Amino acid sequence: MSSNKVKPKFVLHPQLEKDTFFIGSLNLSNILLMNDSRYPWVILVPQCIDAVDITDLSIEQRAEFIEEINRVADLIKQQYQPDRLNIAMLGNIVPQLHCHIIARFKQDFAWAKPVWGIGDSIAYTKEQQDEILPSLQSLLLRS
């Protein structure tokens, strides 16, 4: 007898949906690219329904999440050679657990401040999207 219970599906928060491009999925997290061409700025979102903070994950999920953050951070550092890397889970606006990974340069728009709330984002042009999206897919999803 089949069950009528439907397993709830993970749904990305509409604000993240609006502000980002989907790059692909790791085992735990979706990888998004923030649509702001001022910074190499990716976001990892664990596909865990109702998770707001890391305290909502299991110990195994946290271990996997930090390793996915670490792997993406390492690849972003290799690719972009930034002066610094910012890693942050804020959630003031979007109450769905997500981790920003941002390559920072001493010449960038907001340096040395954090990027949030500094000036207006500059969306990627179609040409830039056609370049960066496959490039990040190739960089971050290779096994």
- Binding residues (CB under 8 A) for its own copies: these are 53-55, 59, 62-63, 65-67, 69-70, 73-74, 77, 84-93, 95, 104, 111-114, 116-117
Q: Which residue number, 101 or 124, has a Cβ lying nearer to its own copies?
A: 101
Q: How far is the CB of 143 from its own copies (least distance, A)?
A: 18
Contact assessment for residue 85 and residue 101, using Cβ atoms and an 8 Å cutoff: yes
Q: How far is the CB of 60 from its own copies (least distance, A)?
A: 10
Q: How far is the CB of 57 from its own copies (least distance, A)?
A: 8
Q: Which residue number, 63 or 141, has a Cβ lying nearer to its own copies?
A: 63
Q: How far is the CB of 8 from its own copies (least distance, A)?
A: 23
**Cβ-count burial 42-62 (b if 16+ within 10 Å, e if not):** bbbbbebeebeeeeebeeebe
Q: How far is the CB of 112 from its own copies (least distance, A)?
A: 4
Using DSSP's 3-state secondary structure scheme, residue 136 falls into helix
Q: Which residue number, 11 or 93, has a Cβ lying nearer to its own copies?
A: 93
Q: Which residue number, 53 or 131, has a Cβ lying nearer to its own copies?
A: 53
How would you classify the pairing of strands 20-25 and 99-104? unpaired
Q: Which residue number, 30 or 96, has a Cβ lying nearer to its own copies?
A: 96
**Cβ-count burial 95-134 (b if 16+ within 10 Å, e if not):** ebbbbbbbbbeeebbbeeeebeeeeebeebeeeeeeebbe
How far apart CA 137 and CA 86 sit, in angstroms, is 21
